[in-house]
Amino acid sequence: MTSPFVDLERPPLRAGALRSALVAEGGLWSDLRVVAETGSTNADVAAAAAAGAPEGLVLVAEHQTAGRGRADREWSAPPRSGLTFSVLLRPPGPTRPMWGWLPLLVGLSVATPLTRLSGLDVGLKWPNDILVAERKVAGLLAEVVGDAVVLGVGINVSLRGDELPVPAATSLHLAGSDVVDRAPVLRAVLRDLATRYRTWCDADGDAETSGLLDDYRAACVTIGRDVTVHLPGGRELTGRARDVDGAGRLLVEGTDGVEALAAGDVVHVR
């Protein structure tokens, strides 16, 4: 395990080596770019999507100066201390009613390889926050651009305690991960995402047929927990998270029965 007191080196990513490993004829990833700095990888990829860029673009930033997460929360970190990247997907038309599953799918494609590589117990807080020991180690942002979906990922890799974007967060380094090299983490996440996404597309977006629903339920640490959910419009719901349904909604049993939630900020009640 990596000691949290070691001052880690932060070497740059090697774009050529990543392209050789991930961009292949017939594969999902058609173009992979690494830039030294940008405001937001999601904004850049969204602009590329609007301009007609094909599916499979991956943009990685060594430093992101205007990153944001869900609800427009800022997400920033020192250069080369994390993985910040966005991908461009153009899902087949029949999947559109189930596009709400895509952020959950990406969350699973981050959590699964992180569990394998890090030696840590990594879980998903609904809908797509990646947690280690109840602390957030990675987050996602999804945006629809016409017939495309842009999915942004931010993973805290080598951040020290005083560098965390919020006090309740953590990093792979601080949590004692077996791996704090960003390149193998990026390769593993993109390979997992490519496999899950194509399986989901082949099933026309059906989470149950593709196996996505079962995999998500197994990784979701919210199910079975007492929660408070901050809902759009300022309403709060407190109860027991019972399940995630076929549409990706969280089923919460409160005083008035079970409610299916499509959006909301979840707080796990200790």
At 230, which CATH number?
2.30.30.100
- pTM attached to this predicted model: 0.93
Q: Are residues 135 and 207 in the same domain?
A: yes
**C-alpha–C-alpha distance, residues 174 and 156, integer Å:** 10
Q: For residue 2, what pLDDT is reported?
A: 44
CATH of the domain at 49: 3.30.930.10
Q: For residue 1, what pLDDT is reported?
A: 47
Q: Are residues 49 and 97 in the same domain?
A: yes
Residue 252's DSSP bridge partners are 241, 259
Prior bond to 103 cis, omega within 30? no
> Domain for residue 6, yes or no?
no
- At residue 167 the predicted structure's pLDDT band, cuts being 50, 70 and 90, is confident
Q: Are residues 184 and 243 in the same domain?
A: no
Q: Are residues 249 and 202 in the same domain?
A: no
> Domain for residue 1, yes or no?
no
Q: Are residues 143 and 259 in the same domain?
A: no
Q: Are 31 and 23 spatial neighbours (Cβ–Cβ below 8 Å)?
A: yes
> Domain for residue 31, yes or no?
yes
Residue 232 domain boundaries = 222-268
- State how many domains the chain has: 2
Q: Are residues 70 and 148 in the same domain?
A: yes
Q: Are residues 186 and 106 in the same domain?
A: yes
Q: Are residues 120 and 183 in the same domain?
A: yes
> Domain for residue 90, yes or no?
yes
Q: Are residues 81 and 194 in the same domain?
A: yes
- At residue 224 the predicted structure's pLDDT band, cuts being 50, 70 and 90, is very high
Q: For residue 7, what pLDDT is reported?
A: 46
166 pLDDT more than 90: no
